[in-house]
Structure 1
């Protein structure tokens, strides 16, 4: 996907991929606490340890190398990289994990994408209800 984007003049930057439970503890309890957020507020913007899509190895936070100030920020949705992902990510079996008004109640994260291109990833994110022909 990164090569295809580059051919179109878009420079996708992987920001965060697999994250261990220990790493997620640091994010959830350290970084978010420093922002004076209570547990409920933190859970809307960052998964509690043990519940992050990053634990699966299928999730990826993506940035735009031409707009580093937008990394992990809502403004990422205004970048060429985000526009490219919206148009082309599905060709590579990636989807936006937390679109606006998602049913899981997780805050919109335009930078957070997940791979759903094999049986294991599909079952991981959608459960057994998805049947592969």
Structure 2
């Protein structure tokens, strides 16, 4: 290739990445294993606890964001990061047992669970890219992950304002936005995702994971009540009806 042609192509590529930054996020030809996509193991996860385990590149970006926030006297604390398939299974099945023992039908129990909790094998937390965060410098309410804590006179308003203005600079985006037209999981102002990794992982998840088949293979409690119609609706609303910047 001639030098002038190389410079021209390089310039075009640089301009494309500036206009469409998601193109630089990851090599979309990279393949992830089934286990990586459903939370059953990922060699790129680093950390030693449920609040520190993250995908290694997400962790590097988070540390930069945390340092920037600290300059504004905001101490970003992770209350949940990577969550394994087994841990999500324990959460889901624990709630399923409790709700059905209280008299709810299996279908109603599942509907109640998925207001906030994902079905194991479908959680974005399985990827190590998604974080639930608060401000450790603010007074700690009894239940930290409540929308009212991030708005009005809520204790995490300063954090939320800062994230609205700065999170995208570090490639983090709110997942379940406060959009009245959005369906699926309820609004979560504390939940942010590292787009450079979560976008390609979601892309492969959509292409490779048959959710109904996976739930049956993994013997998730209550899976016999996951009809084709339910799973189709769940994928459309709970997995895909998210911030468009993360699609």
User: TM-score higher than 0.5 here?
Assistant: yes
- The number of aligned residues is 125
Larger Rg: 2
Give runs of aligned pairs for residues 1-133 of structure 1, distance below 5 A.
1-31=65-95, 34=98, 38-65=109-136, 66-69=138-141, 71-78=144-151, 79=156, 80-101=158-179, 103-116=182-195, 118=196, 120-125=197-202, 127=203
- The Cα of 1:11 is off from its aligned counterpart by 1.3
Structure 2: 5+ residue runs without aligned partners?
Answer: 1-64, 103-107, 205-247
For residues 33 and 4 of structure 1, the distance between their equivalents in structure 2, rounded to whole angstroms, comes to 43
* RMSD, aligned α-carbons: 2.2
Q: Is the 8 A contact 2:125 2:131 kept in 1?
A: yes
Structure 1: 5+ residue runs without aligned partners?
Answer: 129-133
Q: Is the 8 A contact 1:21 1:55 kept in 2?
A: yes
For residues 118 and 86 of structure 2, the distance between their equivalents in structure 1, rounded to whole angstroms, comes to 13
Q: 1:38 to 1:62 in 2, by over 3 A?
A: same
Aligned with 1:24: secondary structure? helix
Deviations 1:31-69 (A, max 9, x none): 576576711111121111111110011000001111321
Deviations 1:6-28 (A, max 9, x none): 01111111110000011112222
For residues 124 and 201 of structure 2, the distance between their equivalents in structure 1, rounded to whole angstroms, comes to 9
Aligned with 2:192: secondary structure? strand
Q: Is the 8 A contact 2:130 2:191 kept in 1?
A: yes
More helix as a share of residues: 2
The two structures have a TM-score, normalised by structure 2, of: 0.46
The two structures have a TM-score, normalised by structure 1, of: 0.82
